Amino acid sequence: MARAILIVLDSVGCGGAEDAAAYGDEGSDTLGHIAEACAEGRGDREGLRSGPLHIPNLARLGLSHACEASTGRPLAGVARPEAPQGQYGYGVEVSQGKDTPSGHWEIAGCPVPFKWGYFTTLENTFPPDLVAAIIREGTLPGILGNRHASGTAVIDELAEEHIATGKPICYTSVDSVLQIAAHEEHFGLGRLYALCKTVRVLVDPLRIGRVIARPFVGTTETGFTRTGNRKDFAIPPPDETILDRLAAKGRPVVTVGKIGDIFAHRNTGEEIKPFGNAAMFAAALEAFERLPDGGFCFVNLVDFDTEYGHRRDIPGYAAALEAFDRDLPRLEALLRPGDLAVITADHGNDP
């Protein structure tokens, strides 16, 4: 009996969805535009990378063909082999929504049958009754932020006030999320998790996909840095997923990265949660190598999205793709006859 590994390159989409205009994303093409930028020199950064996007292993396995099938355009500057060594294709999502749960759940066999809720107002984002409930139920002196924001930027701006007042930093984005940032030492990591669990219940009626704990450390002098202790509090999938079916069959499952959080820890097996793409991919390889026959390894590599897509960092995104591509032969070396390796994405985040 063979084994399977499914790797989600978070936000590494190709082409645009048919309903992209409804989300203000018409014309988006994450991979296509990154390749185009690199070919034009806009992906260069001294000491990091330069030149056209160099992903020969992904191209060899069929990524160039998949992108061209999706968009009708070749990936600029990326080789297109005559005969790919892997199977390739592109998916057209049927779920509503554009973020992590929608993509992962549908990949796992459970399309989203409802519309997610969003906080669309840019300033004073959260409804007053929700803010009052967060303060009351969380026993807080108040909250900071209350707007759409970049996580790193809002922490840099409000961390000192947060430490001085004890008020957590609450913010959102275009996704169906409510994010709460707090200092691991001054506020406490356990307290942050408990607060997020409380807020998860409060936003359930609004159909908000995730409440995300965003812990950070540091001082004004040294600077503030988010840690690897992020935790997503998601609603569970509304129907059966491949993880549920595998559990019913008694199959061994290992999940790497934020997969456990995305599926609300339902039948997510052994959960491994390192920090950073390189560590997560290394953990995935180790888990897959020891996986017995019939086992399944489900992996999310989130840095593409959080570190580069949301920050509109084209050179960083390109370098991360190239780093993954360089590591890909390590996975190929572990494959035995009959094994299945799938590399896909959950959505796009065109920088």
Sign of CA dihedral 123, 124, 127, 133: positive
Same domain, 107 and 54: yes
Encode pLDDT of 211-254 as tens digits: 999 999 999 999 999 998 999 999 999 999 999 999 999 999 99
Rounded Cα–Cα distance for residues 134 and 177 (Å): 15
Q: Is 255 within the bounds of a domain?
A: yes
User: Is residue 159 assigned to a domain?
Assistant: yes
Cα–Cα distance list, 140 to 113, 133, 137, 161, 191 (Å): 35, 10, 8, 14, 11
Same domain, 200 and 247: no
Phi-psi region of 176 (alpha: psi -120 to 50; beta: other; left: phi over 0): beta
Task: Indicate whether 8 and 107 sit together in one domain.
Answer: yes
Q: pLDDT tens digits, residue range 66-98?
A: 999 999 999 999 989 989 999 999 988 888 777
Do 225 and 295 share a structural domain? no
Examine the fold and report which residue of 193, 212, 234 is the final residue of a domain before the chain moves on: 234
- For tokens 């950064």, what's the residue? 45
**Tens-digit pLDDT profile for residues 156-170:** 999 999 999 999 999
Q: What is the DSSP string of 240-303?
A: --HHHHHHHTT--EEEESTHHHHTTTSS--EEE--SSHHHHHHHHHHHHHHPPTT-EEEEEE-H
Domain boundary among 234, 260, 294: 234
Of 165, 162, 168, 160, the closest CA to residue 191 belongs to: 168
Domain boundaries, position 148: 128-234
* Residue 20 binned pLDDT confidence (cut-offs 50, 70, 90): low
In this model, does residue 303 exceed pLDDT 70?
Answer: yes
Same domain, 82 and 44: yes
Here the CATH number for the domain that contains residue 226 is 3.30.70.1250
Encode burial over 320-351: b for 16+ CB neighbours within 10 A, e otherwise.
bbbebbeebeebeebeeeeeebebbbbbbbbb
Higher pLDDT, 102 or 167: 167
Q: Are both 79 and 17 inside the same structural domain?
A: yes
Is residue 37, in this structure, part of any structural domain at all? yes
Rounded to 5 degrees, what are φ and ψ at 217? -135, 175
Instruction: Provide the 3-class DSSP secondary structure of residue 198.
Output: helix
- pLDDT computed for residue 24 by the predictor: 67
Cα atoms in the 13 Å half-sphere on the side-chain side of 279: 8
Q: Side chain identity at 120, as an amino acid letter?
A: T
Domain check: are 146 and 55 in the same one? no
CA distance 162 to 212: 17
242 in a structural domain: yes
- What is the 8-class DSSP label of residue 49? B
| Structure tokens that stand for 84 in this block | 């790919």
Position 21 scores a pLDDT of 64
Structure tokens at 256: 């790497």
Q: Is residue 252 part of a domain?
A: yes
Residue 350 belongs to a domain: no
pTM here is 0.85
Choosing from 234, 269, 290, the residue where a domain stops is 234
pLDDT band at 100 (very low <50, low <70, confident <90, very high): confident
The CATH number linked to 244 is 3.40.720.10
Q: What is the pairing mode between strands 223-226 and 144-148?
A: unpaired
Number of domains, the chain: 2
pLDDT digits (tens, 9 = 90+) for 186-203: 999 999 999 999 999 999
Are residues 203 and 281 both part of a single domain? no
Are 205 and 264 part of one and the same domain?
no
**Does residue 58 sit in the same domain as residue 198?**
no
Q: Six-digit token pair at 197?
A: 């669990």
54: in domain: yes
Kindly state whether residue 287 falls inside one of the protein's structural domains.
yes
Mean pLDDT of 19-27: 66
Query: In whole angstroms, what is the distance from residue 351 CA to residue 348 CA?
Result: 9
Contact 169, 181 (CB under 8 A): yes
Q: For residue 23, what pLDDT band results from cuts at 50, 70 and 90?
A: low
Same domain, 314 and 271: yes
- Kindly state whether residues 107 and 132 are assigned to the same domain: no
Indicate if the pLDDT at residue 122 is higher than 90: yes
Tell me the pLDDT band of 25, cut-offs 50, 70 and 90: low
d(CA 84, CA 10): 23
